[in-house]
Structure formats: structure tokens, C-alpha cells
């Protein structure tokens, strides 16, 4: 191994060690766990740019890492389970439903890359053209506008210096302010971006050059020069043109809409029609409420979906969905199909596994515990905020409570805002005290070297953000004055 390769290897090992070294350790249920740099990298970067005042020294960094990392969540889950979290009637009633929703969502998110690869491989039909617009609505009659446009077209047909003459004619005659000063150049555009008559003329042209006839649209008469005939471009090409400012951002919006439709056309095969409030399948017509549960309505990436399965999906995400029928039947079905395209794509990528189901269940349980814990904190804090606290806060902060140069009145709206801020502040205080009490019980320790490295990184990120004008002295959620 030569010196250059050896140095690269040493640097890589050092980087990997820095990323995987423990920042803090703790014990839950007799098992030792660690939080590494990789686990808190995004957190530290976010705090450094959004809340730098809470990363001013090692002790503040410790509080942030402990309270916002997985360590505190594991401890909360363990504590909630000890108090019988899963024995409640609320848990039995809602938890399995929540797991199902989160698992569907996990599969859908996992499948987005698969769908993107499929749709981005579909060529985007692109063309490029210039035009001269002779607009209606001037002092001239329609016939007079047509004659001027025709005379100009006839003159251009005879031109010996066509490019220059077309550009000059656009500058002289065109009433399209968006392209006139560019010699009529419209740049690249995709199908669906122009009015139908104009688009048909351009996209049906077999080669470049002047279209020999005037094209009439609702705006007037157009002389069109096709500078690049219709051809297929990859999605990445169009994306680059937009990013480079050579195509409008609206092109990308339209393209994404087209891609969504292309995805449905590619992945979904409908086996039903919907007309006059009734669903027709295999020649049989049903009221929505009378569709047999085992009726296959469509397939997604080859997997059949029955009416029972579709209703179960609706029930999971849209309580009382039946009230939306029949008016919203088609939009609901389209939404379900679009969602299931990503879900089934996730399955095609092998994400539907026992390990995935277990991970989603663990995350759902963790979130359930966090919600339960926060609700208890909220109730405790809420019971302690009095009307006197609100009035005292108002009196002490009058200088900040100004709108349009006038002191805001202490009406019910402002009282509720102050009450919520005081509740959040007390919740944060209780939470921090609770965590401090748990440090010894759960044997929480910090790696001093790792903390020093993190603080240096945070300071560098903060300095860079401030230099770019991105720094923000924000207030943490729940921390009032």
C-alpha cells in the first residue's frame, strides 16, 4: 500500500470511528445502550442553526442530547410500560389501528423511489419553438389582423436570412411580451403547457422550420418557427433545464402531474366504471352500498384489490368515509389507488418483512408512550397555571405585547395564548427535572471527548450559518420566558 492510499485509509478509519463513537450511554432493562454521533448528527446541525443559544457549553449540549435523543424516549417507554401502559382500554382500542396506519405509510414511503425510477424512465415529449403573435382585441378587425399576419408569413417564406428576419419581425410585430424581446423564442416546453391549437401545430411537426400556415388560437394568429421538433427527453434532462433557468418552474409542476398520471396508468388496471352514482363491474351494475365485498375493483402492480380491502383502507384513514359517497367516490378511489401504488412498490422492494413490521410496531409503541407521557405532563402543568399567572405575565411583558404601535388588550384570545405558553414552559421544566432524576437510575454517562468534538462541530455550523445570514435565535417549543 503506497503512502497516499495508507493516509486515505487512516483518515477513513478515523472518520468512521468518530461517527460511531458513543456520545452517551445508558441502561434500560439491564441492557446497555449507546447514542453515537451518527444518531445525533442531524439534531446537532438543526440546533446549531436554529437554536444556537442552547449549545453554548458542554452542560447545555448534554441537556439537549439527553432530552432530544433516543435515550430519553427509551427511558420514557420503559417507565410507561412499568406503569401498565398497554393495559389501558384506550391502548387496546387504538394501538393496533395506529400500527396498521403507520405500516401502510412506511411501505408507501419505502416505495417512492421504485415508483420514481419507473416513471422517470418514461420519455418526456419536449419541443422548442419561436412565434410571432398578432393579437386580437386591438383597434383592427380580425380580418385586418389576419391579413397583416399572412403578409408577414409570406414575406418570411421568401427570406434569404430567415433567422435574422424572423427575430426582427417578432420585435416589430409580436404582441407576446414574454417572448418578443427574445426574438419570439419560447424555449423548450412539454405537452400540455400551451393552448391546444398551438401545441398541436408544434408537436405534429415532423421537422424544424417555419410552419407554412397561420395558427389561430384564442389569443390571435401565430407565425410559428419550430426550432426543435418533438423528441423524448429523460426526466433528469428536464429537471436540469429547470434548475439552470432554461425552462420555467411550471414545466416541472406540470411534469410531476403528468408523472403521477403516468404512474397510475402504468401500475393500476381498473376493472370498474362509475357512472350516475353506480359502479359497474363485469357487466353488472351496483349501488355503492351493494357492491359485494369480494368484487375485485382494480389491481396495483399486478395485485388485485377487492371492495372489502378498499373499504378497510378507507376506514383506517378516513373515519365515516361512507358519508362521502356517492359524490366523492371517484376522488376517494383515485386517492386510494395512488397511495397503494407506493405501498405495493414498497412490497416489490422487499420492505414487507417481519423485521419491518416489528420496527414499525416498536416505533408506534414508542410514540404512544411519548404521547401518554406528554399528556400527563400537560395535565400537571395546566392545573398549575392560574389567572393571576396570566395577568402577571401580561404586566411583565407589555413591551413585547405590542401590535401596530399599541398595547394588545388582554382579551380571551391573548389570555389563551399566554396560558398555552405558560403551560408549555412548565411542561419543559417538569420534563427536564424528571430526566435529571432518571440519570442515576438509568446509569446515564457522557463521553467527554465525543462531547468536545460535537461542540466544535456545532460552533462551526453555527458560524457558517450566521455568515450566510441563516442563524436564528429561536425559542425551543415549550420554553417560555
> Does residue 213 lie within any of the structural domains?
yes
Residue 465 is predicted with a pLDDT of 79
pLDDT digits (tens, 9 = 90+) for 360-417: 999 999 999 999 999 999 999 999 999 999 999 999 998 888 888 889 999 999 999 9
> Does residue 445 lie within any of the structural domains?
no
Residue 177 sits in a domain of what CATH number? 3.10.50.40
> Does residue 3 lie within any of the structural domains?
no
Using alpha carbons, list the distances in angstroms from residue 37 to 43, 156, 195. Answer: 10, 68, 54
> Does residue 180 lie within any of the structural domains?
yes
Using the predicted structure, report yes or no on whether residue 12 has a pLDDT greater than 80. Answer: no
Domain that holds residue 219: 124-233
> Does residue 194 lie within any of the structural domains?
yes
> Does residue 118 lie within any of the structural domains?
no
Pairing of strands 445-446, 22-28: antiparallel
Using alpha carbons, list the distances in angstroms from residue 43 to 68, 314, 445, 454. Answer: 8, 35, 19, 11
Read off the pLDDT band of 19 (50, 70, 90).
Answer: low
> Does residue 352 lie within any of the structural domains?
no
Residue 1 is predicted with a pLDDT of 45
> Does residue 146 lie within any of the structural domains?
yes
Alpha-carbon distance of 475 to 467, in angstroms, equals: 21
Residue 469 is predicted with a pLDDT of 65
Alpha-carbon distance of 461 to 47, in angstroms, equals: 10
Using the predicted structure, report yes or no on whether residue 20 has a pLDDT greater than 70. Answer: no
DSSP-based three-state secondary structure for 237? helix
Residue 380 is predicted with a pLDDT of 95
Count the domains in the chain: 1
Amino acid at each position: 500500500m503506497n503512502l497516499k492510499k495508507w493516509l486515505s485509509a487512516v483518515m477513513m478509519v478515523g472518520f468512521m470511528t468518530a461517527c460511531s463513537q458513543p456520545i452517551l450511554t445508558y441502561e434500560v432493562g439491564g441492557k446497555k445502550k449507546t447514542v453515537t454521533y451518527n444518531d445525533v448528527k442531524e439534531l446537532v446541525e438543526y440546533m446549531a442553526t436554529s437554536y444556537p443559544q442552547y449549545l453554548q457549553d458542554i452542560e447545555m449540549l448534554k441537556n439537549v442530547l439527553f432530552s432530544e435523543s433516543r435515550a430519553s424516549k427509551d427511558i420514557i417507554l420503559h417507565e410507561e410500560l412499568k406503569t401498565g401502559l398497554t393495559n389501558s382500554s384506550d391502548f387496546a382500542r387504538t394501538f393496533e389501528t395506529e400500527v396498521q396506519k403507520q405500516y401502510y405509510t412506511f411501505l408507501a414511503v419505502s416505495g417512492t423511489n421504485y415508483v420514481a425510477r419507473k416513471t422517470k424512465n418514461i420519455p418526456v415529449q419536449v419541443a422548442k419553438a419561436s412565434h410571432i403573435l398578432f393579437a386580437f382585441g386591438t383597434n383592427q378587425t380580425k380580418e385586418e389582423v389576419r391579413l397583416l399576419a399572412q403578409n408577414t408569413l409570406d414575406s418570411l417564406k421568401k427570406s434569404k436570412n430567415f433567422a435574422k428576419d424572423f427575430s426582427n419581425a417578432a420585435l416589430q410585430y409580436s404582441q407576446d411580451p414574454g417572448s418578443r424581446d427574445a426574438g419570439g423564442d419560447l424555449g423548450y416546453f412539454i405537452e400540455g403547457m400551451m393552448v391546444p391549437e398551438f401545441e398541436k401545430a408544434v408537436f405534429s411537426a415532423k421537422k424544424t422550420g417555419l410552419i407554412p400556415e397561420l395558427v389561430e388560437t384564442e389569443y390571435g394568429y401565430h407565425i410559428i418557427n419550430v426550432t426543435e421538433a418533438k423528441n423524448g427527453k429523460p426526466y433528469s434532462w428536464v429537471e436540469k433545464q429547470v434548475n439552470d433557468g432554461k425552462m420555467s418552474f411550471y414545466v416541472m409542476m406540470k411534469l410531476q402531474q403528468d408523472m403521477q398520471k403516468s404512474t397510475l396508468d402504468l401500475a393500476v388496471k381498473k376493472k370498474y366504471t362509475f357512472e350516475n352514482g353506480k359502479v359497474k363491474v363485469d357487466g353488472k351494475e351496483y349501488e355503492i352500498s351493494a357492491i359485494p365485498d369480494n368484487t375485485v375493483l382494480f389491481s396495483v402492480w399486478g395485485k388485485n384489490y377487492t371492495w372489502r380491502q378498499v373499504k378497510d383502507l378507507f376506514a383506517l384513514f378516513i373515519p365515516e368515509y361512507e358519508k362521502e359517497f356517492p359524490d366523492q367516490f371517484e376522488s376517494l378511489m383515485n386517492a386510494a389507488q395512488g397511495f397503494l401504488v407506493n405501498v405495493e412498490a414498497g412490497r416489490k422492494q422487499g420492505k414487507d418483512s417481519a423485521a419491518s413490521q416489528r420496527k414499525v410496531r416498536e416505533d408506534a409503541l414508542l410514540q404512544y408512550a411519548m404521547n401518554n407521557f406528554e399528556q400527563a405532563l400537560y395535565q400537571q402543568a395546566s392545573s398549575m397555571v392560574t389567572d393571576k399567572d396570566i395577568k402577571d405575565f401580561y404586566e411583565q411583558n407589555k413591551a413585547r405585547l405590542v401590535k401596530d404601535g399599541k398595547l394588545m388588550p388582554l382579551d380571551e384570545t391573548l389570555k389563551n395564548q399566554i396560558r398555552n405558553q405558560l403551560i408549555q414552559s412548565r411542561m419543559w421544566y417538569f420534563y427536564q427535572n424528571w430526566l435529571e432524576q432518571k440519570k442515576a437510575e438509568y446509569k446515564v454517562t457522557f463521553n467527554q471527548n465525543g462531547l468536545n468534538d460535537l461542540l466544535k462541530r456545532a460552533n462551526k455550523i453555527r458560524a457558517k450559518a450566521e455568515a450566510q445570514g441563516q442563524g436564528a435565535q429561536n425559542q425551543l417549543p415549550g420554553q417560555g420566558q
